[in-house]
Amino acid sequence: MKTSNPMVLLAISFFALAAQALASDTTAAPLPSPESIVQAQLDAYNRHDLEGFLAFYADDAVLVNYPDEITQTGKTQMRARYAKRFAQPGVHAEIISRIAFAHFIVDHERITSPPSADIIEAVATYEVRDGKIVRVTFLRK
């Protein structure tokens, strides 16, 4: 079937363009801020919610003791570490101060980790990319 009616051709073109625009809609919701991601993982940590905690990390996230001692790589290793930690009922982290700078969050933390009566003070530098924590570097006294 061939048509030469300009109005029909214009209508078909309009609907084709509208369908293409809808298909390529790039107005996806913006990612949460790095600060809100780090805060949410801290909240999950304090609830001892292992899977909730890990949900904020990239699958290949790296945990490092300053300057370059890698302690865990990936969620499997992190799961083992934090499952043991969350099994202790009094484990809790408190933020003393926080700095947000681009995709980095720097937290000065106070951590209680029974059965030890010691309070651990540390600085954690979180690097957040594409809505996930990809690296955490810990500095301890």
Q: Which residues contact 87 (CB under 8 A, 6 or more apart)?
A: none
Contacts of 19 (CB under 8 A, 6+ apart): none
Nearest-angstrom CA–CA distance, 137 and 141: 14
Angle made by CA atoms 100, 82, 105, in degrees to the nearest 5 = 5
Per-residue pLDDT at 14: 47
* pTM of this structure: 0.78
Give the Cα separation of 82 and 61 in Å (integer): 14
Q: What per-residue confidence (pLDDT) applies to 116? A: 77
Domains contained in the chain, CATH given = 34-140 (3.10.450.50)
Q: Are the beta carbons of 132 and 57 closer than 8 angstroms?
A: yes
Q: Is 82 in contact with 54 (CB distance < 8 Å)? A: yes
Strands 132-140 and 57-65: parallel
Token pair of 104 as six digits: 């980095």
Question: Per-residue confidence of the chain (141 residues) as pLDDT tens digits?
Answer: 555 665 544 445 444 544 454 455 556 788 899 999 999 999 999 999 999 999 999 999 999 999 999 999 999 999 999 999 999 989 999 999 999 999 999 999 999 987 777 899 999 999 999 999 999 999 998
Backbone angles phi, psi at 25, to 5 degrees: -60, 115
Question: What does the pLDDT read at residue 11?
Answer: 45
